[in-house]
Every structure is written in C-alpha cells, then in structure tokens.
Structure 1
Amino acid sequence: MKKQLSKKFILMIILVFFTIFSLISCQQVKTILDGVRRSDGKSVKNESLDDLNEDNGSQDNTKENPELPENKKSDSENDIKEISYYISELIPDEICFLISDNIVKASAKSEEVKVRQIKNKDEAEEAFCRIDFNSYKEKTVNKIGNYVLAFVSGFYNCNDNIIFDDFLKFWNGEAPAVLEITDSSENPEMILDDSVYKILVKVFGEFKGSNLKIVSDRKEISKILSNSKNTFSIIPFENIEKEFKVFEIDSLSVFDKKEDSSGDYPLELEITADGNEDNDLKNISDNIDYESITNKEEGNLTTLMMTGCTALVRGTASRMEQKGVTYPGEKIAETLKSADITHISNEITFVEGNPRDKEDKIVFSSDPKYIELLRFVGTDVVELTGNHMNDYGPKWMVFTLEIYEKEGWQFFAGGRNLQESYKPAKFEVNGNKIAFLGCNQFGPQSYWATEDKAGAAPPNYDDYEEIITELKKDGYIVIFTFAHQEIYDYAPSAGQITDFRRMADAGADIISGSQAHHPQAIEFYNKSLIFYGLGNLFFDQMYNTEVRQGMITKHIFYKGRHINTVIITTMLEDYCQPRLTDEAERYDILYNVFKASDLKKQEK
C-alpha cells in the first residue's frame, strides 16, 4: 500500500514539473511570435526575444536564416518594387509568350524589381505598363517588337505591287483605289481572318468600306484566293503559302531582310509598351531584345535564285571578248547575288584555247577565263544537265569540274562517272536543308555519264525516286531540274508534263526546266511547284521577243518549308545581257506564262 502511494506521489511530482516546464516554453514561443508581429515588418528580432535568448544562453541565428511565418516578408523583400503589365488580347499567343519571356529575363537583371502579368482585361487599367499594337497615326514610343503581315492574292496574278496610300484609301471606303491590283474591271474584295481584322482596326481605325469578307478559318482564305482572281488578303508572315502571290508594298518586299531593305516595310506593325514614366520600367525596356519579338525570324529565312539556260558561246562569247568578260552580268548581278544560294545552269564545258571551230555545227566550247562571269554573279551551285556537256569529250568535262571545285562551288546532275552524277548538291542555310538533283532527258545518249565516263546524269527515274525518298527522310527540301525537250512555246509538251510530274510524285518540292530557250508554264501539282521552263539567262538568241524573255525564280524557304516563289522577269539585250523588265514587258511575260499554265484546259 505504501509503495503504491509512493509511486502515485512520484508521478504527481513529475506531472507538476512537466506542467511548469510547458508553461515556460509556451511563454517563450509567445514572446517570439510577439517579436515577429511587429507592425513595421522590418525585422523578426525584438527586445524581448533578445532578452529571452540572453536569459537562456542561446545564440541568436535569426540574422542568417530567420524562420518567417507564412505571408511575412524580410527587409529585402519589402524593398522590392512590383511592376505589373498587361498584354492586349489582340496580340497573338506566340508573340505574347515572346514578350513575357523577354520581360521576365530583363527584370531578372535587377534585384529591386519584380514583374507580374495581369491577364484579366477588366484589370488592364491598373497595370503599370500596357502592351498593344501601336496606332498608325500615333508616334512610336517604347517599341518592343513587331508583327509582320503580308499582302497576298492568288498566285496567277500579273500584278504584284501596291501603293500603301491606295490601301489606306481602300480601308477608308474608296474601293476603286486598289482596282489595279487584280486583272478584273470590278472592285476587288478583301478577305480577312477575324483576328487579323481586329488588329487592323486597332492600327488603322474602323473599316469604312463594303468590299470585305471576314472568315474564322484561315484555310478558307487559301481556298477563296485560289478560286478567285478578284480577291486579296492580308495575312501573318508565318501563314504565307507557295500558292499565294505576295505583293510588294511601295516596292518593298516582305521577304527583304532589314539590312537589305531600302525602307520601312509598311505592314510591319509596331508593338509598344505604354505606361507610367519610371526608371525601373525604362531599365526593363532597355534590356528587352525587341528584335526577337516578331513573327518573322530572319535567321530562319533562306532565299535561292534559280536561272535558265547559260551558254557562253557564239554571239555571247563575241560580246564578252569585245566588252569584257563580266559584261553580260552587269545589269543582273546584284539581283542574283542578293540570294543566299545562286544557281547557274551552264550547258558548256571550258576548253583550253577555246577553239570555237565548230560553232556553225552547234558544237560548243567556252574559254576558261569566262569563269569570271559566273564568279561575278555570285554562283554557288552549277547544274550540269546541258546537252552540250561533252561536245569536246569527257576530258574537258572533268577539266570543267575541277575549275568549279577550285572555286568552292558545288555541282549536280553530272560528274566524272555515273555515281557522281547521282550525287545531290546539299546546302544547309539558316536552318533550311536544300538538296539539288537533276538529269538530262534530251540526250544525246552518248553524252550521259556511265560507270567509267564523265557526262550528264541520265534519265534513270527509278534511281532518282529512291534518292528523293532518302533526302526527304533526312529533312531536305528537294529541287529537281531537267534538260528536257526544247519547246519554243509557253505550253509544255506531253512528255515534259509526264516526267516533271513523276518527280513531283516522288516527293521533289520544286521541279524546274533549265533546257528552255523560251519561258513556259507554271503548275501546282501534288504539293509541288513545277516550272516547265525558265528561258535564257546568258545566251545569244535575239530573233524574237519570246526567246529574249526570261524568268529567274526566287524561292523562299522558312523553318524547313518552301513558303513562296517570286518570279523575276528579264529581257535579253545585245546578244548576251539580261536586264530587268519594265512594267509592260513583265505583264506580257506573266500573262502568257499564266495563260499556258491552265494545263487542264490544254489536256482537253
């Protein structure tokens, strides 16, 4: 019994001691919390906490790693200024992302500022900074990016330039102001995606005309433009398709790179930041990479110039001897050199001594010094499909290939043997992979490359289909060229149509005829673009207007796609020298080529 009482007594003493110790601990916690709850919020320490720590002999570690209760801030956090920003709902999502990413990165350079995006439109006015498209009439202030639009119609349109003031008149209700942009006598109709329409209203004000159709699906724009010759549209740069004719505006092209442009492209819409004048905001704005905030990434853009027949013989060679080797290229060199890749189809081999003793029998050679002309116009890749490659024998073809190799140029569709003639010329420029293949269909067969003889690539289509398939698997845009039948007509022959389409079915993106001494039809077929003949570049034919006409095709590649082709028209002068056409000459070429391009009508 006594032992039980003794145990109870001991337990009571332990309980009393534990209770007293707990009360002291709770008082200590309360004191700490009192210190944290100071109204100035600048420090978690207070006098009571210091006294308590001293009384308990504990070390104060709050200076290095204070344990802050939730929703409380340290000294440094209270000194941070918040800058809120709002991005207009008109700005496309991909541009919004670029803007936000740039703002966050720019603000990270300051420890005294943090940013917050306001996404609710109703709270937009509360934002420290508001980001939107700049009105056309307002002075540019705090530009942080741009959004590039293109003025387009269906591809088979002979017109390709609009005066920007005429577009503004059209927007303000004067429909006849743009009457000349199509081949119709009726006022054209504008087709716009709903989102683009709202952007244009913000920039140019309310549309005051009546010739407008708004659609919700951009695919509908493509369908309408391809089936109507009296419509046009304005679309974002990234939505450009090869089936569109892309207009220049005031003679400025949307494909021009800034360093090459002679002015400000009118449909490069400005995105600006409007807000309170503040040094911190200015610092953020100054650190934004505004050139990266755009839907036109010039670093992903590649241009290629494709040309027709070059034969530095007869009258052309005579003029070169009289007026200088580079004379033929003096009026076209800057155009050709402006591309990332310049293609030349040189049908003739270089022969030492350049005998020229069989020209009356159409057996041709060129003086090796004429390489200076090809250098002068910026050649990067040489096509070897021509039907005169072995006029003086395989020895001189090998000699010619060695000259190209010394220049650092690639060549294709011919070689020292059959295997080399199959080898594609490959380029990778600004992220775009481009491969060239080609063959000589025309012959003569004795000029074709064999296992042990130099020559042009023969028309072994089964082999090319396999090569194209492999190139496509490797991500290449494939260009296939022909030296085919020489047809002196805008319309292609049945044989041309069959063979060119076969390469399109195999997967080639662009098929181009280099044999033609006369411009020929253009066809969209099975997702490919076919040019049946480009006409002459450097050759001496002058006996009628048609053989003097030529086309240079400027192909545009963007982010791994062939997005468009611009046709540059030329007229041959003085038996050797192409020049850019005037407006009437250009219209005549395009009108006849486009008329011949209705192949379904011809097939009937």
Structure 2
Amino acid sequence: MQILLFKQKIKRNFSFLFAGIFLLSACQPALWGTPPPPPTPILPTATFTLPPPTLTSTFTPLPPTFTPMPVVIDQTLLWASPAVPAQLREMLLQNGFQISELKQASVNHFVDVVQPVDNSRNTSIWTYALVAPFPTLVDDVTSQDLRSAWSASSSAPFAGIPLLMEESTLMTFSALWGEPADGAVQIVSADELLDTAWNQMPAWAIIPFESIEPKWKVLMIDGQSPIQKGFDPRVYPLIATYQLTCADPCSDPKDLSFQNRNPNKLATVILTGVTALVRATAATMDAKGILYPGEAIREILLEADITHINNEVPFYSHCPSPDANQETLVFCSAPRYIQLLTDIGTDVMELSGDHFADYGQDAMFETIDIYKENKIPYYGGGLNIDEGSKPLLLEVNGNKLMFIGCNYKEGYSTATDTVPGSVPCNFEYMTEQIAAYRAQGYLPISTFQYHEYEIAEATSQQQIDFRVMADAGAVVVSGSQAHVPQVMEFYADAFIHYGLGNLFFDQVSKTGRSPKQNEFIDRHIFYDGRYLGVELVTAFLEDYARPRFMTPAERDKFLLEYFTKSGWDFLQAGQ
C-alpha cells in the first residue's frame, strides 16, 4: 500500500509596481505681484542661433527582488539510518517510500535505531540471533559474557574471538551498547558471513533473525533462543527498536510498525529413531508404569508442533506377555501401550518399520484402527500400498509440510494392492512426489527404514540413496532405522541425518556403555515457509526403556565424535 501524505502547498502571489513618470506643464500666476513691462527691443546687427540641446534619456534598472523558493516536502522520501537492516528497508519500499541516502531538506520521514519505546506507533521490533557454525559444541552463553565480549573483557569460551556481523548490525548495537572495543567486532558483508565463520572456526556472529539458515547453529543467551517455542523477547538482549519519525506531523493513519519474527509463523518438527515397545522395554513399563519411558523427555516432545514417532511394532490384542529375555525377533505390543505414545504428544506415525507385519494382517489392521481412534495420521505404510505410499501433507502456522517414507529392504515391505504393511521404496514415485509438492510450496521431509549398521559412518550406497531425495527437493532426509546413531551432512540445500539411533528400545548394555544407548532427537525449525535448520537434542537410554538428556560432558563428547566423523574436524571454542 502506498502511503499518500498530503501537504497544502503555499502559493505566493507577487505583484510588481510599474511607475509611469509624466512631465506636466501649466501656466501658473506670479507669486510676487504684476510683472514689469517688457524692455524695448534692440535689434542686433548679427544673429547667432544655438542648436537645441540633445536630450538623452537614461534608464537605470532596479536590482531584482529576491524571492526564496519554498522547500517542497516529498512525503514519499525517507532517510534510513545505515543501522536499518536490509529487510526493514525492503518493507518500507514496499509501503511506497523512496529511500534517500542523504538527510536532505525535502525529506519528511526518518527511520533510525532508538532505545526501546513502549506502545509507540511506527516502531519496528527486530530480533537478532547469536550464531556459530553448525558443528559448534557451545550451546549457551550468558548475556554478561556477550556484553563483556563487546568490551573485549570476556573470559567465556569465545574470549578473544571477534564477533562477526555486517555493518548495519554493528551500527545498531553501537547505538544501543556504545562503541565496541578495538578488535571485539569484525565487519563482514552479509553474503560472506557464513563462509567467513566456517573458515575461521571457532567463530560466532550476530545476524538478523531473517538471515538464519541451516548451516548456522543458533546459540541460546541465558537459555533463550529465538528459534524455540518458549522464547521470551522481554528478557532477550538481542532486540532492536527502529522508529519512523517525521519532520512535519505524520498524517498517515496506518501504523508503520514491522517485525522480523512472528511466533505465529514458527513451526517445530521433532524426528525420532526406533521405537519398539517389546521385551525388556515392555517388561519395565509393566513394572514401573506405562508412561515411565517418556518421563524425562516428555516436555520437549510435547512442545513440538509435530512429534514424529517411528513405531516399528504392531499393537495386537492377542500379544503375549512381554519376555525380557525373548530371543526371537518377532514382535508385538499390548494395545494399552498406546498411552505412552499419546502422553508424549505423538502427531505423526511412521509405518515403514521392519516388524510391522510380524503378527500378520489382523495385527496391522488393529494397529491402524488404534492410530485412527487416537487421530494420529501415518505414512510409509498403511492398509494397502496405495494408501501407504501417499505423502502425508500437514500445515502448521502457515508452513506446508510433507512426509514421505518407505522400507528399503527386501522382504519387509508387505503392502500390496489388497494387503496392509510397510511400503517398498519406489524412488521414481517418491522423487516425483517430492518435486511436485516442493513446487507447490511444501517443505518435504523424507524418511527411510534403511539397512542397519553397527558403525556411525554412512555407506557409499546409503549416501547415494539419501541424496536422491535431497536432489528431488527434500529439505530433510532422515534415517529412522538406525540403532547405532549415524553421521550427518549438508547436501543440496538439505540436512541429511543418516540415522538417529533408538528412542524407546531395550538395547542397553549390561556391562559399560553401548553406542546403541546414544540417541539423537532432531528438532527441525520452519518459519514462514522456509527451513531454518535443526537443533540436535541428545539423550542417553537407560533402564532398558527410558531415555534421559545427556549431561553437558556426555553431550560434548558425543557431538565431538559425530562432528568429526561427519567431516567437521574443527577447533572448538575454549580449546
């Protein structure tokens, strides 16, 4: 909408006086009585006649009167401080303004960073993020450490490492915090910030929220992160206020206030690994309560807009009582165990698992009925191959999401035109669906029930197969099958995680720690139709059933191992 600001222009009429000078002649009476008689003429002997004088008129022009030109205020012309971020400038342009680089006299509108103003019109609130390259161990810094780094007096992990930022960001926080100490800040153009940070690891940076992308890791400040659902901007230090003011009174009735972060446009999706409520896991649930396995991680799963569970095992009314020492690999779960999955807020069920058909068609039909009764949509399997192959389409806070999955292994995908089960991987069909829905604005998430390996590294064939989905347009490609967590990579604008490990399963070592007890819970962030990236939540499986969050020391060791194996062998902050 173009802003039309009307201002009455003052018209001045100037009149010019033209004076006409007339020479007037007339007979007038004498002032001193009757005049004497004329004298007697004497005739001259010679006559000499003087020529009449030549009269030359002279005209001296008057100097011109100076008429000042009035300053015409252009109501569409706006001066934006160099501190104003690029997206806010773009929003002002879209609202009909022309941005002037100079504070010239004809400019009526001005926008600049100001100290926070409550309940004020024409005020834009801008959220910034503290970020580091994705394979960074540091998760959280204090606001005191951040301000100390600004003054080059910090002893935190990033001590002595300059904060990277573009020039507008520097000018913004210089206005709010004062000028930084020498060497505390390194100015980098916006299009080079990410590469500069990765090349200079360890590194950190301050960027506008709209510049977040998957290769950045968003660091919390005092436990607050703008990509998390519980974010509280009132206690977050990286908030800037920009205000639009006018030389003449602003006459536009519309409030020109903007923001770069709207919580109603944010969506979070949690992807998990293997769930199998059988053997010792089921026995522990019977002994300690059905909800016991999820108690430690329940809140983070509930908080997500979409929590994905890959339950590989059918629910079956005739399932035998759990046996912690069961040797056969034919599994089922008692229907009452669905309480665990509903208690943790399951929103999407993946049915591509190897064991879905272990107890035949009756068990699969009963399982699907249970999911329908609990309003849990599913994909990767179903009542038949047509239903199971279809993508699952969801929309959360304006973000259109697509889930598609399959079972890669021969002999485990039992779905046919008439028989339920997991569906086989049809790469031609899946890539066509991914490309078609991506073109419609969906953000595809592709998951696999792939081969299981006892190593963290992805095999060459696994890389080829997962990358096919990324090439088709998937923004996330995730392995649901792994018991041992696997490595990750950024490829073709996608995040690929080859295996997340177990979620609820009894693969706990009786002697020492097993790699199968380490777990990734991947929290993916979407905003306004864009994929922003992933937060790696790390957990440790214990008591044959119950994952808990890793301690800081456990987490650092686990992440460092997997970052290194993923090819990100960088020096870490504080090392």
Alpha-carbon distance, 1:507 to partner = 2.2
Q: Does the residue aligned with 1:149 lie in a helix, a strand or coil?
A: strand
* 1:291-313 C-alpha deviation (Å, 9 max, x unpaired): xx211122222111111111111
Q: Secondary structure at the match of 1:478?
A: strand
Distance 1:351 1:124, change over 3 A: farther
Q: C-alpha displacement at 1:238, in angstroms?
A: 0.7
2:308 to 318, 343, 352: 343
Report the 3-state secondary structure (helix = DSSP H, G, I; strand = E; otherwise coil) of the residue aligned with 1:360. coil
Distance 1:410 1:126, change over 3 A: closer
- 1:284 positional shift: 9.7
How far apart are 1:225 and its partner, in Å? 2.2
Q: 1:389 Cα deviation (Å)?
A: 0.6
Secondary structure class of the residue paired with 1:177: coil
Alignment counterpart, residue 236 of structure 2, candidates 265, 269, 273: 265
Cα deviation, residue 547, structure 1 = 1.6
1:92 is aligned to 85
- One of 513, 517, 527 as aligned partner of 2:479: 513
- Matches of 2:299 and 2:399, distance apart in 1: 23
- Deviations along 1:484-523, whole A, 9 cap, x unmatched? 1212222222332222122222222111011111221111
Alpha-carbon displacement from aligned partner over 1:19-75 (angstroms, at most 9, x marks no partner)? xxxxxxxxxxxxxxxxx99xxxxxxxxxxxxxxxxxxxxxxxxxxxxxxxxxxxxxx
| Aligned twin of 1:55 | none
Q: What residue identity is the alignment partner of 1:558?
A: Y
Aligned to 2:293: 328
2:185 to 206, 212, 230: 212
Taking the aligned partners of 1:530 and 1:338, their CA distance within structure 2 comes to 23
Structure 2 vs 1, CA of residues 124 and 448 (structure 1 numbering), >3 Å: closer, same or farther?
A: farther
2:170 equivalent in structure 1? 197
SS of corresponding position for 1:197: helix
Aligned length in residues: 494
1:109 is matched with which residue?
Answer: none
Aligned pair in 2 of structure 1 residues 262, 371: CA closer, same or farther (>3 Å)? Answer: farther
Aligned pairs for 1:232-381 (under 5 A) are: 232-257=204-229, 261=232, 264-271=235-242, 288=255, 293-356=258-321, 359-381=326-348
Report 1:413-492 matches (<5 A). Answer: 413-443=380-410, 445-492=411-458
CA shift, 1:260, in A, is 5.5
The Cα of 1:441 is off from its aligned counterpart by 1.5
Deviation at 1:347, TM superposition (A): 0.7
Question: CA separation of 1:425/1:124 partners in 2, compared to 1, >3 Å: closer, same or farther?
Answer: farther
In structure 1, the partner of 2:24 is none
Partner of 2:125: 146
Residues 1:534 and 2:500 aligned together: yes
Does the Cα contact within 8 Å between 2:150 and 2:185 map onto a contact in 1? no
Tell me which residue corresponds to 1:63.
none
* Amino acid corresponding to residue 222 of structure 2 in structure 1: D
Q: Secondary structure of 1:571's match?
A: strand
Instruction: Give the match for residue 155 of structure 2.
Output: 177
CA-to-partner distance for each residue in 1:384-409, whole Å, 9 max, x for gaps?
Answer: 11111111112211211111112111
Partner Cα separation in structure 2 for residue 367 and residue 125 of structure 1: 77
Q: Using a 3 Å threshold, how does the CA distance of structure 1 residues 446 and 97 change in structure 2: closer, same or farther?
A: closer
Bigger Cα displacement from structure 2, 496-505 vs 372-381? 496-505
Structure with more relative contact order (C-alpha pairs < 8 Å, separation 6 or more): 2
In structure 2, the CA distance between the partners of 1:126 and 1:497, relative to structure 1 (3 Å rule), is closer
Q: For 1:88-109, what per-residue CA distance to the aligned partner results, in whole angstroms no more than 9, with x for missing partners?
A: 452235435767999x9xxxxx
Structure 2 residue matching 1:394: 3-state secondary structure: helix
In the alignment, structure 2 segments of 5+ residues that lack a partner are: 1-10, 13-74, 571-575
Kept in 1, the 8 Å contact 2:354–2:412? The answer is no
TM-score normalized by structure 2?
Answer: 0.78
Whole-Å separation in 2 of the counterparts to 1:141 and 1:391? 62
Residue aligned with 1:374, SS: helix
In 2, the alpha carbon distance for the partners of 1:446 and 1:574 equals 29
Of the candidates 134, 138, 155, which is equivalent to residue 114 of structure 2? 134
Counterpart of 2:545 in structure 1: which amino acid? C
- What is the CA–CA distance in structure 2 between the aligned matches of 1:526 and 1:492, rounded to whole Å? 17
Identity %: 36
Distance verdict in 2 for CA 1:88–1:579, change over 3 Å:
same
Cα offset, 1:249, TM superposition: 1.0
CA distance in 2, matches of 1:477, 1:589: 29
What is the alpha-carbon distance in structure 2 between the residues aligned to residue 123 and residue 264 of structure 1? 38
Contact 2:317–2:334, Cα closer than 8 Å, also in 1: yes
User: Is structure 2 residue 217 aligned with structure 1 residue 226?
Assistant: no
**In structure 2, what residue type is equivalent to 1:221?**
L
Which is higher, the Rg of structure 1 or of structure 2?
A: 2
Provide the residue aligned with 1:13 in structure 2. Answer: none
Contact 2:225 2:231 survives alignment (8 Å) = no
Q: Which amino acid aligns with 2:201?
A: K
Asked if the contact 2:355/2:412 (under 8 Å) is kept, the reply is: no
Q: What is the deviation of 1:592?
A: 1.2
Cα distance change on mapping 1:288 and 1:99 into 2, 3 Å: farther
Contact 1:469–1:507 (CA under 8 A) maintained in structure 2? yes
Partner of 1:570: 539
